[in-house]
Structures are given as C-alpha cells and as structure tokens.
Amino acid sequence: MATVKRCFIFMLCFIALSLLPFQIYGDEHQGQKSKSGTAASAADPGKTPVFPAMPSPGKKVPIDNDHYIIYGFDKKPKLGTIIMKVEIYTRDGNKDTSFEVLADSGMPSMKGAHETGEQPLQVSKKGAYLLPVNIVMPGDWEIRITIKKGGKVIFRGSHQFDV
C-alpha cells in the first residue's frame, strides 16, 4: 500500500512539474526579432501580410499612382515548371525595371508542404520579371507577389489557380 501511495505522489509531482512553463533555451531562441526585441511569430495575425486577389492574368493591375503591372504565364498552368512573367509599366506605357519584385508560391490547402518561400524575380533582357514555378501536384495553387521600391513595400497581391 505504501508503494502505491509513493507512486501516486511521484506521478502527481511529475505532472505538476511538467505543467510549469520552463524556458529551456533561454536567450538562444532562433528566429527573427521584432522591433520590440521579442521573437516574431508567423502565427501572429498582426504580423502576417495581406495579399489581396489580383485581376486575372493579362489585365492591368495598378501598384501605385504612377505604375501598373501586367502578369501572366508562359503556358497554361499544369504539372511541371511554368514561368510567371511580371511586367511593370509607367502610366504612359513605358517599362520600368527599377522595382524589386518578390514572389512566393504554394498550395493554400497544404500550407508549408509546397511553399517556396519568398524569392526575387529575375529581370530578363526584355525588361520582364521572371519566376519559375514548379507545380508538383494537381490542386489549388497560389502565387503571392510583393513589389518594393527603395526597400519599402508598395504592393502585395495574389493569384490563385487550379491545376
């Protein structure tokens, strides 16, 4: 009987101690630091950027008062690699390659499984920003575009499509 009591008390102590909030790694947490000095969380809704839906490919999408983009693909999205092309124009129709364009692709229904992470688009000789997108399985896909000027984000948008 005494052995059963000791085991019971031991288990209660173990459970109580396991519920205490221990900081195992101290100040050696990995991840980005926010301006306040605390670790930034990807799950924090205040920190997650919003990517509004853009009009369909081939349409003008305003990015500020003086510029717009036209985006599209080299072929209809299907399994394999497709190339997304983004062209930035001034209001009077001249191409402008002075922007930094980043993009991320993945499957919204499988967050984290096929995400590419934000990547810079490469500027072609013809002044188009290009991004290879590897479509690895059928389903709903999304490409999120971020456009920066002088290090500041001026535009975010997304395009969803089905393969």
Instruction: Judge whether residue 87 has pLDDT over 90.
Output: yes
Strands 122-123 and 100-106: unpaired
* Residue 45 placed within a domain: no
Structural domain boundaries, residue 144 = 61-162
Q: State pTM to two decimals.
A: 0.69
Which tens digits make up the pLDDT trace of 140-150? 999 999 999 99
Which tens digits make up the pLDDT trace of 66-81? 999 999 999 999 999 9
* Residue 154 placed within a domain: yes
* Residue 115 placed within a domain: yes
**What value does the mean pLDDT take over residues 46-62?**
92
* Residue 104 placed within a domain: yes
Instruction: Judge whether residue 83 has pLDDT over 50.
Output: yes
**What value does the mean pLDDT take over residues 91-112?**
92
CATH number, residue 103: 2.60.40.1930
Host H or E run for residue 146: strand 140-149
Asked whether 71 and 77 are in contact (CB, 8 A), the reply is no
**What is the total count of domains within the chain?**
1
Closest CA to 62 of 147, 151, 152: 147
* Residue 15 placed within a domain: no
Which tens digits make up the pLDDT trace of 14-48? 554 454 444 333 333 333 333 433 333 444 556 78
What pLDDT, on a 0 to 100 scale, did the predictor assign at position 95?
97
DSSP one-letter string for 53-100: BPPPTTS-EE-SSSEEEEEEESS---SEEEEEEEEEEETTS-B---SE
The pLDDT mean for the chain works out to: 81
Q: Under 8 Å CB-to-CB from 93, ≥6 apart: which residues?
A: none
* Residue 125 placed within a domain: yes
**What value does the mean pLDDT take over residues 110-116?**
78
Measured in whole angstroms, the distance separating CA 80 from the mean position of its chain's CA atoms is: 21
